[in-house]
Structure 1
Amino acid sequence: MQIVANSNMKIVKLKEANDNGPTAPVLSIFDWTVDRYVGKAPAVEYLVDGVIPLGVPGMVAAMGDTGKSYAMLELHRRVSFGSSIYAPPVFGGRVIAEGASVMITSEDDEGEAHRRMDALDQKGERHSTAGKRMIVVPLPSAGGARAYWKEDKKRGLIETDDFLRLRDELATVEDLRLVTFDPLASFAHLPLNEDPAAGQFVCTSLSKLSAETGATVLVAHHMRKVQKPIETLGDARDAIRGSTALVDGLRLAYAMWPADEARAKRVCKTLGVEFSPGKVVLGGVVKANGAARRIVSTYVRNEFGLLVDRTSGLSESAAPQGDLLDALVIAVAGAATSGSPFTKTGAGGLFEMRERLPDELKSLSKGRLDHLATQALEQGRIVRAAAKGEKLAKWLDVPGGMFALGLGNFTTGTPR
């Protein structure tokens, strides 16, 4: 074990190569009887309100040249410097946890990092005391990229000495809120796309890091190019590269993808901005362990190349996904209460009977409406129920509704 002092003259213990084996504490199952869970359960703390929890490992996935790295840098700026309540959302919400942040990038050099900070920090806050709270390490200008996870011929999958040094330094950072690695492939010298064990090993390591530091730990990752335009959050999740272990092993995955040209032109026309290829990007949470706002946000690239959330400025025809989902649940509940419930598809289906839906849902395509219904069913906000004397559960209702309880009655003339 080597002991050194970091730049703040704090003592840091660095593990040598022969120290980096597993050091898990002894576990006794008898320490975890459920009577230890006393009192009210702690509420979920968020880094980005309702979207990105604090103290969890996650991923931001996007295709190349989408703008995810720039957006992540803006997230760091807001965490470390704070932001106005009138600032547009970032990654679908408002940053509510402030503190120190550390971004390690293997793609941008010092010059590029400087140019981006100039564009983001036009008030020069980085030159105040708050500047010490934000750390951006451009590896091309700091000795080059390095592996944090790799496979050793003798020991198998390991965390490298470079990772252990970083982990020990992060432990000395006070009030740490956010750590990002951009991109993951540069730091994990492992077959993440083919080997589920490699993906799970990296996810476990990231999970330990977030637990030890209390910070949200995000990795930037790539999405593969797809032949058909991405239309739903499920499509976006399927486009993330690598084995499913990589997404499944993290607590959160946020995806960003270019809008198809027709949609991008509509957005630009509505907002009164000039269209250009790559101008409009969509994004949303595609995986979350727990509650998360599942909306599709619309981003428009500004003059500096930063993706700015413009969802609120769009017309009702482009209502946020969360609002559409709420409208669907209300419509299903109202129809069931009045004795004329919808089915998901078929003669009494939502699309087939769309004239009974509110205006914001009537104009949706059959696929989009079906996706909303599937999402509401998966979240348990609506359920399928069987009517009296029927065995097949096909009628839509909300939990606790009359049809959901098996007590629903059809009104005369109800379309079946």
Structure 2
Amino acid sequence: MAILDKQDEDDDFHGHDESLRHEIDSVSQVIYRTMRDITFVMIFLNGGDDEIDVGLMGIPLGRYDSKNNRVIWTFNRSCLSMHHDHSEVAKKLTYTQLFCYCDIKLLTSSQFLGLLHQQAASIVARNPCMLDINPTILVDCCLYELFLHYDFHTASKFDWVSHDSNYWTCDAIIQGDRARDICNAFYREINWKCDASLLEDVLTECMKQLECPFLVIKDDDIYEEGPYRWISVTWRNTELLGMQTIPAMTKSFFLAFERSDHPQTLPNGFFEHSSKLGVLVLCWCAFSFASPSFLKCPRLRFLGLDHCTDKKTIGDNHTEWLCLYSLWVLDLQYTNWNEILSEEKMDLMTNVKELNIEGVMGWQYIAHLQCRLLNLQRLRIIKPTCQWETSQDVDNSFTDKASMDAIRGCAWQWREEASRRDREGRVGRSGVGRRSPPRPL
């Protein structure tokens, strides 16, 4: 270890990148002398897709192999991949004698799920915090991300997949006091890289099986009722071809209509049986902002709205907003719904942990936060449509947020810049620049 430490210091001093560092010759010689007279098989979990000549480390394989030893290794352990073309990996190989890969299209649905169970078991095994976790939970997390990759995030043009860890908890796939830590660990492990056409073939086959938990509906698809836990709909037509209501078993529902200056209206009674709905994302939809049809969903934890508009109706029914009591995440993208961020509605959102606002009035709502949303952990406001009022003091809006760990948005950057310019004597007497920017919470 002393030799290794000294070599690391020398490399650091000379500015050598870690990838350029050479093996310690003396250590390699000891390894070679130890292993040269034995026959062995080496199993190597390679995290990348580049071949490594382990012979340079003193292991008698590759060009140093004198006893016909063998190495079995895997590629891309850092992500779950699904690709048509494996030639990009194969053409990099020099010492590999046989390159094997699985044609995933030839697998049945049960075989594909079996592979996911094996992958889940290995992820759980190498993460001590997960040893008491049922691998089936991780399989559901993998399928959920594939389900979103399949079509919805492409049709909506927004990266809803980045909310995966929120979906897993809001859908109740992951529950309990350790849910956040488990989600963070899973999120590092589950990283799909897929060819779109291959993914469509695999998931289309998967949806034919009764045990498949999700349904993806696109134009020209015929809706068939079933006990689906997750449903994604991307549609250009106003008629949902037989889908009058969301199935009672559904916990996550994603709907994206075609982009239009006049978004299509949600059917009446669409959420009538959605007592278990935990995740709801609507894109380019119209509904009554005064009395949305999903306000009676008692378990709604994630509400995402993208380019939705108010469909004013006569005689709106102002019933109790049950969905706000259970809400954990509110994500508004280019949806001017002022009422939901009013003081009255914020008083109902006692469990909200994350608030994301993009492309609408944003910073004007900050003053409403004082003594409200006490469990708020993350706040993100970007691309606001209204200019920041420099006279507005918002520091006290966050002093009561004991759980706050992240604030992101352009206004803080503006104030930091104003403070710097004021110190340099270029701001004048506005009063804003003379104050230091808010401390990180």
TM range (shorter): under 0.3
TM-score by length of 1: 0.27
Structure with higher strand content: 1
Give me the TM-score of the superposition, normalised by structure 2.
0.26
Using CA pairs under 8 Å that are at least 6 residues apart, name the structure with larger relative contact order, 1 or 2: 1
